[in-house]
């Protein structure tokens, strides 16, 4: 039994010759070079061994390639399978660890396993799992698409709402400005009327001042006496007017009533 290094011919290695293996014999659990292959095929002990090309052997997953036909503990070929321990057994294993176990001949199990539907079922299961994964991923992708569309919908709504609010605010602003202008206009005409009225009286007062000054300088005593009475009466009228101005609401300051 050579070590299963795999890359070199086991037979040559045993004779200290290093030669690359071109074939693999699972029965011998070793590589075979092209020169040794002929002998391996014709020799009585090995001619029934099913060898495979090294390329095919290397395609095997390592976990499968590591399953060999020899018990590593006793270096004997496996012959039986213990279903209780789920273990392959060589004749020595049986006498030590599986004395009371139900054992099946490996040749029989192996024959049925290649023909059983197990691999088809496993492949089918894996295919279904992948389909499920595809479906789940597609479902999430669609979910995301819906979320995206909803977000865009909300953004459009917000923009429309914003535009409506802007229009409404523009209208409000316009109305308030019109109201303000109208109010100012109203106050302006009231104040103009008031100022006009007051300046009329101012003229009267100017006249009285001039007349009194002239009377003082140029009038006779009699004229001064009667004129004084007349002026007094007129001044009283003007005083009444001034009092009415102060009491009148027209004298109050105008302000805006902004709510
Ligand atoms: Zn060789
Ligand atoms: Zn062999
Ligand atoms: Zn064993
Ligand atoms: Zn057992």
11-39, pLDDT tens digit by residue? 999 999 999 999 999 888 899 999 999 99
As a whole number of angstroms, the distance between CA 22 and CA 29 comes to 14
Q: Print burial letters for 11-48: b (CB count within 10 Å at least 16), e (below 16).
A: bbbeeeeebebbbbbbbbbbbbbeebbeebeeeeebee
As a whole number of angstroms, the distance between CA 13 and CA 32 comes to 10
Q: Does 7 lie in the same domain as 111?
A: no
Ligand in nearest proximity to the CA of 87: 4
Q: Does 186 lie in the same domain as 139?
A: yes
Q: Which residue spans within 19-89 are E strands per DSSP?
A: 23-25, 30-32, 52-53, 80-82, 87-89
Please determine, for residue 1, whether its predicted confidence score (pLDDT) is greater than 50: no
CATH number of the domain enclosing 81: 3.30.160.60
CA 98 / ligand 4 centre spacing (Å): 4
Please determine, for residue 259, whether its predicted confidence score (pLDDT) is greater than 70: no
As a whole number of angstroms, the distance between CA 245 and CA 197 comes to 10
The domain boundary, picked from 81, 116, 151, lies at 116
Name the residue among 60, 51, 48, 6 with its Cα closest to residue 26. 51
Q: Does 243 lie in the same domain as 147?
A: yes
Q: Does 217 lie in the same domain as 103?
A: no
On whether residue 38 sits in a domain, the answer given is: yes
Q: H or E element: which one contains 237?
A: helix 221-247
3-state secondary structure of 57: helix
Q: Does 223 lie in the same domain as 135?
A: yes
CA 96 / ligand 3 centre spacing (Å): 9
Ligand in nearest proximity to the CA of 89: 3
CA 3 / ligand 3 centre spacing (Å): 17
pLDDT digits (tens, 9 = 90+) for 134-173: 999 999 999 999 999 999 999 999 999 999 999 999 999 9
Domain containing 106: what range? 70-116
In this prediction, residue 180 carries a pLDDT of: 93
Q: Does 224 lie in the same domain as 129?
A: yes
As a whole number of angstroms, the distance between CA 3 and CA 72 comes to 11
On whether residue 258 sits in a domain, the answer given is: no
Residues that place a CB less than 5 A from ion ligand 3? 71, 73-74, 90, 92-93
In this prediction, residue 140 carries a pLDDT of: 97
CA 49 / ligand 2 centre spacing (Å): 5
The domain boundary, picked from 53, 86, 116, lies at 116
In this prediction, residue 168 carries a pLDDT of: 98
Q: Does 101 lie in the same domain as 86?
A: yes
Q: Does 74 lie in the same domain as 12?
A: no
* Average pLDDT value for residue range 198-217: 96
* Average pLDDT value for residue range 50-55: 92
Name the residue among 101, 58, 52 with its Cα closest to residue 81. 101
Q: Does 80 lie in the same domain as 64?
A: no
Q: Does 148 lie in the same domain as 227?
A: yes
CA 88 / ligand 3 centre spacing (Å): 8
Ligand in nearest proximity to the CA of 42: 2
Q: Does 44 lie in the same domain as 151?
A: no
């Amino acid at each position: 039994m050579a070590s299963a290094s795999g890359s070199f011919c086991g037979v040559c290695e045993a004779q200290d010759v290093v030669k690359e293996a071109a074939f693999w014999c699972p029965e011998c659990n070793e590589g075979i070079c092209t020169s040794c292959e002929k002998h391996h095929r014709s020799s009585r002990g090995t001619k029934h061994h099913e060898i495979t090309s090294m390329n095919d052997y290397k395609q095997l997953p390592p976990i499968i390639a590591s399953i060999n036909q020899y018990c590593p503990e006793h270096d004997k070929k496996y012959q039986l399978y213990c279903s209780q321990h789920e273990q392959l057994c060589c004749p020595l294993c049986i006498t030590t660890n599986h004395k009371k176990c139900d054992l099946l001949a490996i040749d029989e199990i192996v024959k049925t396993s290649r023909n059983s539907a197990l691999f088809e079922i496993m492949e089918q299961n894996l295919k279904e799992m992948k389909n499920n994964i595809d479906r789940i991923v597609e479902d999430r992708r669609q979910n995301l698409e819906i979320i995206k569309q909803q977000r865009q919908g909300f953004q459009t709504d917000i923009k429309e709402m914003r535009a409506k609010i802007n229009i409404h605010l523009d209208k409000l602003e316009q109305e308030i400005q019109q109201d303000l202008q109208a109010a100012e206009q109203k106050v302006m005409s009231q104040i103009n009327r008031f100022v006009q009225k007051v300046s009329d009286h101012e003229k009267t007062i100017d006249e009285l001042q001039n007349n009194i000054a002239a009377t003082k300088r140029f009038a006779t005593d009699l004229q001064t006496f009667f004129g004084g009475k007349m002026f007094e009466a007129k001044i009283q009228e003007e005083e009444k007017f001034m009092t009415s101005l102060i009491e009148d609401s027209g004298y109050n300051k105008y302000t805006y009533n902004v709510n």
